Amino acid sequence: MRLLSWNVKAAESPSSRHVPNLEGIAAAIDAQGVEIVCLQEVALGPDEGSIGPLRDLLGMDGCLQAGPRSESRATAVLWRPGEIELRTQVTHYAELFYHSAAVVILNVTGLAVPVMVVSGHLHPHSADARVMEAAVFHMKADADQLTILGCDANGIGAHDPEPSWADTRSGNRASRCVPAPPGTLVEDLRGDRRVAWNLAAAGYTDACPGPDYEATGSHIRVDQIHVSAALAPALAGYRVVGHDGLSDHKKIVVDLDLSKVR
């Protein structure tokens, strides 16, 4: 089973000069031959935004999750019908996110246990808030639970090398680095890795195996896929795919060998 996570930048305000190319986005997704798609920034506020057209263009089923504010960017999970079907959408976490997290429970042919798939967009301005948002899913990683987190984590991974923080906007440095006293040299800043550390402690495995931690947005590998302990043996491939000018984030694609799930 192949899955993709991508911040498609299709939730722009009316004043934005960026107009999402939905046909191009759909074609780029379709070219990867995926069964499950986690999308971030698919709509602004409570509107359905691009999810309806993307569902139609891709021939997929899917669920949207709007955020709690008029400026929240919505997330979505899409899947190819046939061997995958919706069991339920979980909506009671909606108010806990600055942006949103779409959460669905899917029945997948060949698996005895349903799969929880999360498309999350963590807080862009506060490392402390990101820690609290990600903690919602800490209890979904152990035992025989099958959980996939596809997200714009807005932070650095557990084992990524320190990026060049000088290449990052000062506001992003403030929200993505460990707090440091005024006057600290940029080269002495260190990324805040607490979200990734806590997910690993909870039992998740980062699908990016390293040692190549290619940046996916803003000089940082902010886009990540994490899988629960029971799915970790099924990890069979990871790659970063360019955005071709359709977004400011690259796509990440992961292959899972479901025969390895016990």
Question: For residues 106 and 84, what is the distance between their CA atoms, to the nearest angstrom?
Answer: 7
Read off the pLDDT of residues 45-99 as tens digits, 9 standing for 90 and up.
777 778 889 999 999 999 999 999 988 999 999 999 999 999 999 999 999 999 9
Question: What value does the mean pLDDT of the chain take?
Answer: 94
How many angstroms separate the CA atoms of 76 and 61, rounded?
10
CA distance 128 to 103: 22
* Per-residue pLDDT reduced to its tens digit, 103-140: 999 999 999 999 999 999 999 999 999 999 999 999 99
Which domain does 153 fall in, by range? 2-260
- The CA-based angle 74-133-115, given to 5 degrees, is 70
CA-to-CA distance for 7 and 194, rounded, in angstroms? 22
The Cα 189–Cα 33 span in angstroms is: 39
Q: Which pLDDT score is estimated for 122? A: 98
- CA 256, CA 234: separation in Å to the nearest integer? 5
Q: Which amino acid is at 206?
A: D
DSSP 162-181: P--GGGS-HHHHHHHB----
Are 46 and 83 a contacting pair, CB within 8 Å? no
Tokens at residue 139, please?
């209890």
Here the tokens at position 99 are 């942006």
Count how many domains the chain has. Answer: 1
Of 32-41, 65-74, 125-134, 148-157, which range is least confident? Answer: 65-74
Residue 262 confidence (pLDDT) above 90: no
Q: What is the pLDDT of residues 174-210, one digit of tens each?
A: 999 999 999 999 999 999 999 999 999 999 999 999 9
The CATH number of whichever domain residue 33 belongs to comes to 3.60.10.10
Phi and psi dihedrals of 16, rounded to 5?
-70, 145
C-alpha 224/C-alpha 12 separation (Å) is: 22
